[in-house]
Structure 1
Amino acid sequence: MSESLDLLVFGAHPDDAEIGMGGTIAKHTAAGLKVGICDLTLAEMSSNGTVETRQQEAKAASEALGLTVRTNLQLPDRGLYLLPEYVERIALEIRTWKPRIVFAPYWEDRHPDHIACSKLVQEALFNAKLRRYLPDHPAHTVEESYFYFINDVIEPDVMVDVTGHYESKRSSLLAYRSQFESSGSGAGNHIVRTPLNQGYLERVEARDSLLGQKRAVRYAEGFISKLPYLTELF
């Protein structure tokens, strides 16, 4: 029987979760919470690196963040469509790990796979709680769901101070050398110029720093909720 998770983070590709909320993940694992990442694809269409290299990098990133588990559904990269079988795979992942909170990419982004991942997870979250849907697997209702930013950013509903855990986020991102370094060994020993290896990590850090400035912290990560943020007292 699988171990229940506190947080389950979905991403279209290995490195999506780290870009959007690596600091938040590290903060929660450091506090003793169980956090998992589920990558939908192996990122086999990436211009640089190989599937094998990317998996090794994901393993190193997972160790940097202190994950309890990382899985990969091996759905087709650049083939993430709103298909019932894909929704089913994600819903089963939710039922397997029974997380309290689920995270997915924000539904607006320059990368179509990030948008598709967001839609698929939203469908799966709804289906996972229906007891007559795949009745051989007990239904599970998550307490909350939030959406993190990868490329495109809007004003967040909630932000997390990740200043004390930003070094873990840096380490997790630097693990993906095939994606973020502009020199080295790529496919055919040739690195293809992409937005990711042209100062992308510096821009991610600047984004997190700029958001933190709003509440006088050094680094913060922002999230969107489709439901109002509920609190007992102010």
Structure 2
Amino acid sequence: MLDPRPSTLDALIIAPHPDDAELGMGGAIVKMIAQGLRVGVLDLTSGEPTPHGSLEVRAAETAAATKALGLEWRENLGLPNRSLEATLENRAKLAEVFRRTRPRWLFAPYWEDAHPDHTAATKLVEDARFWSKLTKTDMAGEPHHPERIYSYYCVHLKMAPQPAFVLDISAQWQQKAAAIACYQSQFVTGRPTDPPTILDRLRDEAAYWGKTIGKAYGEPFASREPLGLSGFGELV
């Protein structure tokens, strides 16, 4: 059962739809939790309608994936799927979540995508991060400014990303794959069964990113802002 208490998070992943966090950075989520960090996922919409899903099915799949990842904090902002917009009203809603959970790091979708919900989500995260620090406002909670926004890749474009860094998720891949597989209505039902299936493709993609850093599996990340290092001890 998820922890319902408002509390400070180290990292908050903002996903346009349930399954985007798992696809883009499921391995990173598992890794951060194993390192003792408090991690949360905020889904902006229900993700429905979809061809083979429903509100009930998607909610059950999300609950199963949340358990598979080991998450203790996950919420849904209840914004409309397929028509997500970075409006002032939605910006305030998201900023209030930031002020309540006070994350150090935010993770948003990569800023270029064919899916309008994804690009709107990124704009919304960036704007809400700024609003979250405001004083003299009607928004609930105390001012808070997350230190960084990192971008994960869960894109609908056939693009060749040039990430800022690639995270080694070799030890976390199986758990990530199990979380993704919970979304049967999205990745199994009605999909071609001849290999390579979409799940095969996701494995191959993770293996490709692992190859770029000399590891079995990896996840790429981007950042609009420069990254700082205090040393080279964590480089692989």
Task: Give the conservation status (yes or no) of the 8 Å contact 1:156–1:223.
Answer: yes
Task: Give the conservation status (yes or no) of the 8 Å contact 2:108–2:150.
Answer: yes
CA positional deviation for 1:136: 4.2
Q: Give the match's secondary structure for 2:154.
A: coil
The alignment of Structure 1 onto Structure 2 pairs a total of residues equal to 223
Runs of 4+ with >3 A deviation: 133-136
For 1:106 and 1:89, how far apart are their aligned partners in 2? 21
Unaligned runs of 5+ in 2: none
Identity %: 39
Map 1:1-20 onto structure 2 (within 5 A): 2-20=6-24
RMSD: 1.8
Map 1:116-195 onto structure 2 (within 5 A): 116-134=120-138, 136-151=140-155, 152=157, 154-182=161-189, 191=190
For 2:45 and 2:153, how far apart are their aligned partners in 1? 18
Q: Give the match's secondary structure for 1:120.
A: helix
CA positional deviation for 1:133: 3.5
For 2:106 and 2:16, how far apart are their aligned partners in 1? 14
CA positional deviation for 1:146: 0.2
Task: Give the conservation status (yes or no) of the 8 Å contact 2:108–2:125.
Answer: yes
Task: Give the conservation status (yes or no) of the 8 Å contact 1:30–1:66.
Answer: no
Task: Give the conservation status (yes or no) of the 8 Å contact 1:125–1:141.
Answer: yes
Map 1:31-46 onto structure 2 (within 5 A): 31-46=35-50
Unaligned runs of 5+ in 1: 183-190
Number of the residue aligned with 2:218:
220
Give 2:67's aligned amino acid.
Answer: E
Q: Give the match's secondary structure for 2:44.
A: strand
For 2:135 and 2:108, how far apart are their aligned partners in 1? 23
Number of the residue aligned with 2:199:
201
CA positional deviation for 1:49: 1.2
For 2:134 and 2:199, how far apart are their aligned partners in 1? 40
CA positional deviation for 1:202: 1.9
Q: Give the match's secondary structure for 2:64.
A: helix
CA positional deviation for 1:208: 1.4
The 1:88/1:28 distance shift into structure 2, 3 A limit, reads same
Give 2:184's aligned amino acid.
Answer: R
For 1:148 and 1:60, how far apart are their aligned partners in 2? 22
CA positional deviation for 1:18: 0.3
Give 1:204's aligned amino acid.
Answer: L
Task: Give the conservation status (yes or no) of the 8 Å contact 2:166–2:213.
Answer: no
For 2:107 and 2:82, how far apart are their aligned partners in 1? 21
The 1:135/1:119 distance shift into structure 2, 3 A limit, reads closer
Map 1:76-115 onto structure 2 (within 5 A): 76-115=80-119
Give 2:89's aligned amino acid.
Answer: E
